[in-house]
Amino acid sequence: MASQDAAPAAHSVSSPVVSSQFTPIPASDRVFSFRDHAALWFSLGVGLLVIQIGAFLGTALGTKTALFAIVAGSLIGAALLALVAYIGFQRGLSSPILMCQTLGSSFAKLPVVLNVVQLIGWSAFELVVMRDGTTALVKDITGIDAVWLPYVAALFWGLLLVGLATGSMIGLVRWFVGRFGLPLVILSLVWLTWQFGIKAQAQGWEAIWNRAGDGSMSTLAGIDLVMAMPVSWLPLVADFARYGRAGGTTFRGTWLGFAIANMWCHALGVLVVSTTDVGADLMAALLLAQGGLIALGLILIDEMDNAYGDVYSGSVALNFLNGRHSIRFWGIALASVATCCALFLPMHGIEPFLLMLSSVFVPLFGVVVSQLAGNGIATERRVNPVPVAIWIIGIVSFHLCPAIWPQVGSAIPALCITLLLGTIYRLTRTTALQAA
């Protein structure tokens, strides 16, 4: 669609209320059906990182508790993601504009800039995952273990990402993800689940089911960790959901698509770690499974959807900050920067920084939901002080709770606090406006 890549006319950063970006997406451009939403968010929910987290949960909590945490965390986290998607559909606006309507048109630039930084980091992280996975695949197939191989792999995936950034987001979601990417990634997950299910049956399902954890994590902390994946997409979901045809299909497609993928990949990680030797490398275990080479390759290709989602939303945010260039221009620029980062950065060097940034956006979207859900009134101020204060309280609670009460994790208490305080403020404000 031409509208997705058009630079807004007469956009002024200092006066965003006159920007066309504050105009909802027209009905003619709202083409995403339930299938499109479900395919997109299932695809974005699949990843090697999710399988690795599932393996960690299986080790820490044991099989039964880990699966409970996976189901609960996936349903709750995906429901929150779907709620923000519904708000994005209802208002027909991008994530940066939702931030403006919550925090104020000027102050919102701060989280928008932070979001751009985190999206560059996540894009680079996805490329690093694909780089390391491709290196392992090539080594397994050919025996080549050259020092230049990771650089070539990173450059290959990076250039592919740049190529995708030049195209249409709607076309990619409806044509590639829905028709080709989704069936292939489902097939790979089915095959890997079948292979490790056979190993579990050989070892005895009862022994697998009763496998105890090492006690290094509480159940609530496990749920918190599972929620981290859907919650990490909160700053992006409205950028896609605003193209939905109907609110119900947008909500259900987002919720079911991501929840099923999140549960499946986490549970697969538990299954893998339960059927392999203690301390075994997860990537090696997947490769050694019959057909694991092909299945892992398909999952690596699916990681490109995640990187593209980060790049697209980052380009929407940059277009909001500087509307002189189109979304396509910023997408190519972001993909190029992420590629340069992936050429040199180790995976574990990126992850702590990205997790720190997540502490900003988890409470932020607790505030967004509390202010804009239902008939919430968008602020017309440059700075909306009470929601800003609630956001800051949420960030502080995100960091303090693990130190004071480690059993409850970080995301759950931060979300509860911001949702509660934000709802109280919205109700009080609405009552005062009605009285006036």
Locus of tokens 């504009």: 97
pLDDT at 15: 35
- DSSP for 242-298 reads TTBS-HHHHHHHHHHHHHHHHHHHHHHHHHHHHHS-TT--HHHHHHHSTTHHHHHHH
pLDDT at 256: 97
What is the per-residue pLDDT for 128? 87
Helix (H, G, I), strand (E, B) or coil at 431: helix
214: its two tokens: 């090492």
Share of the chain above pLDDT 70, in %: 91
End-to-end CA distance of the chain: 44
Cα angle, residue 101 at apex, residues 4 and 311 outer, rounded to 5°: 35
* Separation between Cα atoms, residue 120 and residue 379, nearest integer Å: 29
Rounded to an integer, what is the distance from CA 305 to the centroid of its chain?
11
Give yes or no for a contact between 248 and 89, defined as CB atoms under 8 angstroms apart: no
What is the spatial distance between Cα 306 and Cα 238, in angstroms, rounded to a whole number?
Answer: 15
Closest CA to 22 of 320, 414, 345, 395: 320
Domains, the chain, ordered by start:
29-435 (1.10.4160.10)
Spans of the chain below 50 pLDDT: 1-18
In Å, how far from its chain's centre is CA 64? 26
Residue type, 115: N
Distance separating alpha carbons of residues 255 and 34, to the nearest angstrom: 11
Cα angle at 275 between 274 and 277, to 5 degrees?
95
Q: Where are the alpha helices (DSSP H) in 373-410?
A: 385-404
* pTM exceeds 0.85: yes
pLDDT recorded at residue 6: 36
Residue 3: what pLDDT? 38
